[in-house]
Amino acid sequence: MQSIRILPFHATRTALLGLCGLVLAASVIAQEAGGSTAETVPKRPRIGLVLSGGGARGLAHVGVLKVLERERIPVDVIAGTSMGAIVGGLYASGMSAVEVEAEVRKLDWDNVFASRVDRRELSQRRKEQDFEVSPLLEVGVGADGLKAPVGSVSSRGLESHLRRLTLSARHIKSFDDLPTPFRAVATDMESGQAVTLKDGDLATALRSSMSVPGVFAPVEVNGRILGDGGLVNNTPVDVARQLGAERLIVVNIGTPLARRDTLSSLTGVTAQMINILTEQNVRQSLASLTPQDVLIAPTLEGMTAADFNRAPEFMTLGELQAEAMVLRMQDLKLSEADYARWKAQRVKRQTQAVPLTFVRFEGSQLTHPDARSDILLTQPGQVFDVAKAERDLTVLAASGDYQGTDYRLVRTPDGQEGLVFALKDKTWGPDYLQMGLDFSADNRGRSAFNLKLVHNRHWLDTSGTEWRNFLRLGTAPALGT
Tell me how far apart the alpha carbons of residues 348 and 229 are, in angstroms, rounded to a whole number. 26
The whole-number average pLDDT for the span 273-289 is: 89
Tens of pLDDT, residues 406-438: 999 999 988 889 999 999 999 899 999 988 888
E strand or H helix at 450: strand 447-457
Q: Is the pLDDT of residue 7 over 60?
A: no
Q: Please state the three-class secondary structure of 101-144 as a single string.
A: HHHHHHCCHHHHCCCCCCHHHCCHHHHHHHHHCCCCCEEEEECC
Strands 47-51 and 247-251: parallel
Task: Give dist(CA 232, CA 241) in Å, integer.
Answer: 17
Cα separation, 258 vs 18, in Å, equals 84
Residue 426's identity, in one-letter code, is K
Q: Is 293 exposed, middle or buried (0-12, 13-18, 19+ CB in 10 A)?
A: buried
Ordered by where they begin, the domains of the chain are 47-115+152-346 (3.40.1090.10), 124-151+430-480 (no CATH), 355-425 (3.10.20.310)
Q: How far apart are CA 118 and CA 130, in angstroms?
A: 12
Model confidence pLDDT, tens digit, residues 313-322: 999 999 999 9
Q: Centre a 10 Å sphere on the Cβ of residue 372 and count the other Cβ atoms it contains.
A: 15
Q: For the residues 44-58, what does the mean pLDDT come to? A: 95
Residue range 152-187, pLDDT digits in tens:
677 888 999 999 999 999 889 999 999 999 999 999
Phi, psi of 377 (to 5 degrees): -75, -35
Q: Counting Cβ atoms within 10 Å, is residue 471 exposed (0-12), middle (13-18) or buried (19+)?
A: middle
Compute the distance between CA of residue 389 and CA of residue 146 in angstroms, rounded to an integer: 34
241 compared with 125, residue with greater pLDDT: 241
Read out DSSP for 189-204? TTT--EEEE-BS-HHH
pTM metric for this prediction: 0.84
Q: What is the pLDDT of residues 386-401, one digit of tens each?
A: 999 999 999 999 888 9
Q: Which of 402, 417, 415 is nearest to 366 (CA)?
A: 402
pLDDT band at 29 (very low <50, low <70, confident <90, very high): very low
User: Strands 294-296, 247-251: parallel, antiparallel or unpaired by DSSP?
Assistant: parallel
The predicted model gives 272-300 an average pLDDT of: 91
* Residue 25 DSSP label: H
The pLDDT assigned to 435 comes to 85
Q: How far apart are CA 290 and CA 432, in angstroms?
A: 55
- pLDDT tens figures, 11-25: 444 444 444 454 444
Coil, strand or helix at 73: coil
CB 417 within 8 A of CB 126: no
Between these two residues, 200 and 120, which has the higher pLDDT value? 200
- Alpha-carbon gap, residue 448 to 462, rounded angstroms: 41
- Position 3 scores a pLDDT of 43
- The mean-pLDDT minimum among 99-103, 137-141, 332-336 falls in 137-141
Asked if 231 and 274 count as a contact pair (C-beta separation under 8 A), the reply is: yes
Task: Lowest mean pLDDT of 80-84, 116-120, 218-222, name the range.
Answer: 116-120
SS3 label, residue 393: helix
| Alpha carbons 371 and 360: distance in angstroms, whole number | 11
Task: Provide the pLDDT confidence category of residue 266 given band limits of 50, 70 and 90.
Answer: low
Radius of gyration for the alpha carbons in the chain, expressed in angstroms and rounded: 31
What Cα–Cα distance (Å) separates residue 47 from each residue in 5, 73, 196, 361?
A: 68, 9, 19, 42
What is the overall mean pLDDT for the chain?
Answer: 87
Local structure of 77: helix, strand or coil: strand
Name the more confident of 254 and 247. 247
- The per-residue pLDDT for 347 is 80
Selection from 24-33, 117-126, 260-269, 388-397 with the highest mean pLDDT: 388-397
Q: Residue 44, CB half-sphere, CA atoms under 13 Å: how many?
A: 18
**What is the per-residue pLDDT for 238?**
97
- Whether the pLDDT of residue 191 is over 90: the answer is yes
